[in-house]
Amino acid sequence: MFECAVEAIADTPRLDNERRPEWEPWRAGEARPARRHDLTVLALAGDDVVGYATLDVFDDPVSFPALTGVKRARRARGIGRALKLRRIALAKAAGLGDS
Ligand SMILES: CC(C)(COP(=O)(O)OP(=O)(O)OC[C@H]1O[C@@H](n2cnc3c(N)ncnc32)[C@H](O)[C@@H]1OP(=O)(O)O)[C@@H](O)C(=O)NCCC(=O)NCCS
């Protein structure tokens, strides 16, 4: 998952320069209380995480879509769309709305 995050974060349009996450801060961020791992969706190729979509809930029942990322070599094949749709379906089933 971290390998996927490194590529996805580097390629996410943003203004700051922190484009390559370090392992420990990234891991700590993933462990934050708002992160809903039960509503995180992974795209797997064998054991390799080739994409994922995460969700934070700061103010239940409102959810905030966090990173969606797909490894560069796997992009433009519909994985990102599938991750998003699945994440939305899971959030709705959990009674959450979008922020
Ligand atoms: C954005 C990202 C997740 C898309 O993943 P993907 O698997 O390539 O997406 P899909 O193949 O499912 O494409 C879905 C649609 O989004 C479009 N799309 C994909 N990346 C796009 C981009 N960077 N800009 C504009 N449109 C994009 C595709 O053209 C496609 O549209 P279509 O169905 O009308 O052709 C991937 O490019 C990525 O990881 N980017 C870096 C991280 C990022 O910016 N995440 C979003 C913010 S959290």
79-92: pLDDT as tens digits: 999 999 999 999 99
Residue 40 Cβ < 6 Å to ligand 1:
no
Residue 19: its pLDDT value, please?
A: 76
Residue 97: its pLDDT value, please?
A: 81
How far is residue 98's CA from residue 63's CA, in Å, rounded to a whole number? 5
Say how many Å lie between the CA of residue 13 and the centre of ligand 1.
12
CB hemisphere CA count around 77 (13 angstroms): 11
Residue 61: its pLDDT value, please?
A: 83
Q: How far is CA 14 from the centre of its chain?
A: 16
Residue 18: its pLDDT value, please?
A: 64
How far is residue 62's CA from residue 82's CA, in Å, rounded to a whole number? 22
Asked if 70 contacts 8 with a C-beta cutoff of 8 angstroms, the reply is yes
What the chain holds in terms of domains, given with CATH numbers, is 2-98 (3.40.630.30)
Residue 62: its pLDDT value, please?
A: 86
Ligand 1 mutation pick, 75, 88, 98, max ligand atoms within 8 A of CB: 75
Positions in the chain short of pLDDT 70: 15-18, 99
Closest CA to ligand 1's atom 5:
80
How far is residue 65's CA from residue 73's CA, in Å, rounded to a whole number? 23
